[in-house]
Amino acid sequence: HPVAYTRPSPETNGLWILIPILVLGIAMYVFCQTSIPPYYTAGAVIECQRANCTPETDLAPPRPTASKDDVAFRYDVTFGLELRNAVLARPDIKELDWYQRSPQDANWRLNQCLEVTKVEGKKDLLAFNTKVGDPTTAIALANAVAEVYITDVTAAHRGAWEGHLADLADIRDQLQTDQADLLAKIEHPDYPAELADMWRATPQFSALKEQKRSLIEAQTRTEQVLAKLQAQRDDPTTADVPPEAFDTLQRDLADITRQLTEVDSDMAQIDYVLDQTAQKLREYESMQTKYRFNEDLIAQLDVSIEKLKPLATQTTLTLVSPAKDARKHYPAWRPWGLRI
């Protein structure tokens, strides 16, 4: 008997079409999940063992006005490049497959996988996190970066303070050299002699001033007498004045004028000596004042240098939490956190 043909229902046709699609989708999903490898992260933490230690982790050039304390925690563009170069120069890093795979762009790849962050709530902690496709590499890179950072920044911090101390020492040495020159001038034998000359010249100048005053009075009296005699000679009602009287008074007046000229000359010479001596004595007093000031300043510098010396080694960076384990991560787009 012939078999009767039964037309499939629409539901059956749809099921047979859906099953291959589902199988193909599951196969593609499994392939995608297994073909995209996971990545690993590791982190190392360092601590700045110093009060008021503020990390600076901005990827930007350092502030021109940054204080020497800021060098304890810094990670700017230039320093980051130097840091990565130092890390990649380590023999243990060069032995990694991660490095040997492409040494020429290792610096760029390290920059891409490295993250430097402050530890939240801990201003004296700085974390170095790495993200690569191999757990051993992630741990090695995190620890290497932290160790190089500690070495370089500690050296930079110490160098900055040692440079500061050297500047202060140079200032002190220059002041001591100036002090020697000042002392030689202060103790110069000319100064006591010049001081004695000033004490001798002062009463001489006073005596000449008194002599000049007396000569001016005599000159005035003589001129008055001459004027009276001249008036008598010109008056016809009075007796004649003897010529000898005129001659005598004129000779006296000429002698007084000559003496006044000599006194003025002597006074000018003594006044010049007094002025020069006074100027030198002012310089002498100024040098004495400067010498005393420099002595105090040198003493203050000595105290400051001794106080600042410990600061060169006071700030220490310590690797308090080295990277020991790497955490495994999957791409964020994997649905439902499925692990394959």
Least confident of 165-179, 189-203, 246-260: 189-203
In terms of residues, how long is the chain?
340
AA identity, residue 152: D
CB of 201 closer than 8 Å to CB of 271 = no
Q: Crossing angle, helix 190-234 and helix 243-308, to 10 degrees?
A: 160
Mean pLDDT of 82-91: 90
CA distances from 262 to 185, 222, 249, 276 (A): 37, 19, 20, 21
| 129: confidence class by pLDDT, cuts 50, 70, 90 | very high
Asked whether the predicted pLDDT for residue 4 surpasses 80, the reply is no
Mean pLDDT of 119-134: 84
Cα distance from N-terminal residue to C-terminal residue, the chain: 55
**Res 58: pLDDT:** 31
User: CA 146, 152, 158, 161 torsion: positive or negative?
Assistant: negative
116 token code pair:
């430097």
Instruction: With 0.85 as the threshold, say if the pTM is over it.
Output: no
CB of 321 closer than 8 Å to CB of 185 = no
219 token code pair:
């000159």
Bridge partners, 132 (sequence order): 40
Q: How far is CA 32 from the centre of its chain?
A: 59
The model's pLDDT over 267-294, given as tens digits with 9 standing for 90+, comes to: 888 888 778 777 877 888 888 889 989 9
Q: What are phi and psi of 63, to 5 degrees?
A: -65, 140
Share of the chain above pLDDT 90, in %: 15
| 40: confidence class by pLDDT, cuts 50, 70, 90 | very high
Asked whether the predicted pLDDT for residue 211 surpasses 90, the reply is no
Single out the residue of 203, 329, 215, 303 nearest to residue 263, CA to CA. Answer: 215
Average pLDDT of every residue of the chain: 76
Cα angle vertex 138, ends 39, 141, to 5°? 150
Mean pLDDT of 198-214: 79
Bridge partners, 128 (sequence order): 44, 116
Asked whether the predicted pLDDT for residue 56 surpasses 60, the reply is no
The model's pLDDT over 177-194, given as tens digits with 9 standing for 90+, comes to: 988 888 887 776 666 666
Bridge partners, 117 (sequence order): 127
